[in-house]
Amino acid sequence: MLDWMAWTWPTAVFFLTIAALLIVFTVLALRYPETPRTGILRIETTRGDRLFITLLGSAFINLAWLGLTDLHQLWALAVCLLFAILVFRFV
C-alpha cells in the first residue's frame, strides 16, 4: 500500500498525525476562537503559533538526537512531548 513512495509505516503515521493535528486545531479555532496571549517569549501567540513552534522545535530536537546520541529515538519523542507541554503552557 505504501510502496508507491517507499514510505514506511512510521513515516505514514508521522504525516497522518500532523494532518490530524492541523484538522483538530482548525476545528478548535472555529469552535473556540481565542485572543492571542503573551508568554515568556514576550510575543503574542495563538494556539496555531504554539503548535508551529512545537513542531519546529520537535524537528530540531529529533535531528539533534540523531546526530548527538546513540539512544533510542523513542526517548526523543518523550523529550518532544515535554517540550510541547512547556510550549503550550508558557509561550
Band (pLDDT 50/70/90 cuts) for residue 10 is: confident
Count structural domains, the chain: 1
DSSP-derived 3-state class of residue 34: coil
Give me the domain span that covers residue 82. 3-90
Question: Per-residue b/e over 45-68, b at no fewer than 16 CB within 10 Å?
Answer: bebebbbebbeebbeebeeebeee
pLDDT per residue as tens digits for the range 27-44: 999 999 988 999 998 999
Give 58's contacts (C-beta < 8 A, 6+ positions apart).
80, 83, 84
pLDDT per residue as tens digits for the range 61-82: 999 999 999 999 899 999 999 9
Band (pLDDT 50/70/90 cuts) for residue 1 is: low
Rounded to two decimals, what is the model's pTM?
0.83
Least Cα distance to 62 among 51, 75, 53 occurs for 75
